[in-house]
Amino acid sequence: MKSEETVINVEKLTKKFGNFTAVNEISFKTYKGEIFGFLGANGAGKTTAMKMLIGISKPTSGEASVTGFDVYSQPDRIKRNIGYMSQKFSMYDDLTIKENITFFGGIYGLDRKTIKIKISEIIESLGLEDVANKLVGLLPLGWKQKLAFSVALLHEPKIVFLDEPTGGVDPITRRQFWELIYKQAAQGTTIFVTTHYMDEAEYCDRVSIMVEGKIEALDTPKNLKKEYKTDSMDGVFLKLARNVE
């Protein structure tokens, strides 16, 4: 059912800092409309790998392309063609909802007319009519994250990178957030997501688990559970990701 069209192609991608190999020859592909979970213990190399994929860190060796663009020679085109949102930074607290959308629309090079349409679309679909002119800083965290997700999709990227998008969010809103993810993936957007909530790993089509710079496992949650003889992703993670510091 999922598409054969690849959005990320990674082959033996490596990043070294001096003698330390943070990312060690990782290879994988992600497909159109796929929800791809990118897991690993703290310090396993997830952030370093992700930085290479979003075009802000040059690899030491290996190959990688994202939405058809090469991470070495076309990092700026990658940045323009992907969506990105993280738990730590998503939007400007002292701009209103409308202002944030306008600002990011401008950054992504959308024209005024398109921005206007996007504003009303987002506000309507998230039910933010009453607070559209309120500062983002005044919104509950969960709302902020849902809005940030929509903003990351403003320019209709083929792929969106979500770095722990639901950390600290209340459990009901966390599920609403995942429904947004499902909906977006069903429309063909590839979702590349990191999380520390193991129940969320279950919501992914495929999950990769990094251990000490390498991808130690990559499969559907179902197959991983079978392979590691456990009934939850938590069990898989505990078996694989021995914490090394």
What is the smallest separation between the CB atom of 175 and another protein, expressed in angstroms? 5
> Which of residues 65 and 195 has its CB atom nearest to another protein in the complex?
195
What is the smallest separation between the CB atom of 55 and another protein, expressed in angstroms? 24
> Which of residues 78 and 97 has its CB atom nearest to another protein in the complex?
97
What is the smallest separation between the CB atom of 56 and another protein, expressed in angstroms? 20
d(CA 75, CA 56): 7
Q: Which residue has the tokens 């992700």?
A: 50
Residue type, 84: Y
Q: Residue 178, exposed/middle/buried by CB under 10 A (0-12, 13-18, 19+)?
A: buried
Residues in contact with another protein by CB under 8 A are 40-44, 138-142, 144, 164, 167-173, 175, 178-179, 182-183, 185-186, 196-199, 202-203, 221-222, 232-234, 237-238, 241-243, 245
Structure tokens at 121: 């679309």
> Which of residues 110 and 191 has its CB atom nearest to another protein in the complex?
191
> Which of residues 110 and 162 has its CB atom nearest to another protein in the complex?
162
Structure tokens at 43: 């310090």
Task: Name the phi and psi angles at 155, rounded to 5.
Answer: -95, 20
Name, in order, each residue with C-beta under 8 angstroms of 140's C-beta and a sequence gap of 6 or more.
173
What is the smallest separation between the CB atom of 76 and another protein, expressed in angstroms? 30
